[in-house]
Structure 1
């Protein structure tokens, strides 16, 4: 029995507690019917039960919203990390070229083409996620290109 609780995560444990509470309320409802309680008491018990169900639903919705927000933040951080990694690789290549006496490498034509296609897709009205999927680039990189383009354009 102890291994069951060790393997259970907190979300499953919370759901189990809520289920047990609901079962207790249902048992109370059935027992009160057997005791011939008044209709007002039964309605109050049902109202309590409905309140708990609605509060549980709102908590589940809030939990889902938090999970989605964290997923978006993780995607953004991953994009920024990809960008930093690419910058580090560029810096390393320049340092190696400088130490070897060769001219520093320029940005590959593919990167320039990707930037142009990102801007073109954004102007056509696609979302950042759709652009990232179409160009097979990280969401963070797409956001960066769009932000830099916005900064580079003069304000009207």
Structure 2
């Protein structure tokens, strides 16, 4: 029962409230009839009941109209997204078929020089923090370069990495 209350949206809650009011009015109508209520009380109760039914019908119509508008908007957005996806695929296809395209671009010479000096300092025994200070690079960048270098180095048959 708890999951019903946590998943209920405001539309469902409103409908439940209206249903409860209608049930209460019907119960009042029947009780008034049983105890011999006056004709005026019965007409008043019946008028209230008819007003609630009319208001419920209006709310249901507005809700249906709102749902239809949202469905149209979602369809429009999906159409735009499909168009953009097709354009992106076309662009990717053109890039893939471009002559002379290489899979990866080589790093610029300045980056290769920095990487080489970071690796050289690491092999000499300096920590990542010391290397960062010496090369004036962020510690995270130095650690990333060192980690990538460890992953890229081949292992020997016993499982230890080659220096």
Tell me if TM exceeds 0.5.
yes
Cα distance in 1 for partners of 2:60, 2:38 equals 33
Higher-Rg member (1/2): 2
Other-structure match for 2:37: 37
Deviation string 1:56-109 (CA, Å, 9 cap, x unpaired) is 0110111011111111111111111000011111112222333537xxxxxxxx
Cα distance in 1 for partners of 2:12, 2:2 equals 15
Give ranges in structure 1 of 5+ residues lacking alignment.
Answer: 102-156
Larger RCO of the pair (alpha carbons < 8 Å, separation 6+): 1
Cα distance in 2 for partners of 1:76, 1:42 equals 51
Q: Secondary structure at the match of 1:100?
A: coil
Other-structure match for 1:104: none
Other-structure match for 1:89: 89
Deviation above 4 Å: which 4+ runs of structure 1? none
Higher helix share: 1
- Larger mean CA deviation between 85-94 and 31-40 belongs to 31-40
Task: Compute the RMSD of aligned alpha carbons.
Answer: 2.0
Could you tell me the TM-score, scaled by structure 1's length?
Answer: 0.57
Other-structure match for 1:49: 49
Cα distance in 2 for partners of 1:30, 1:59 equals 26
Cα distance in 2 for partners of 1:4, 1:87 equals 43
The total of aligned residue pairs comes to: 101
Cα distance in 2 for partners of 1:16, 1:32 equals 24
Query: Does residue 18 in structure 1 map to residue 2 in structure 2?
Result: no
Cα distance in 1 for partners of 2:64, 2:92 equals 42
Deviation, 1:6, is 2.5
Cα distance in 2 for partners of 1:25, 1:98 equals 75
Cα distance in 2 for partners of 1:30, 1:19 equals 17
Could you tell me the TM-score, scaled by structure 2's length?
Answer: 0.55
Query: Does residue 79 in structure 1 map to residue 76 in structure 2?
Result: no
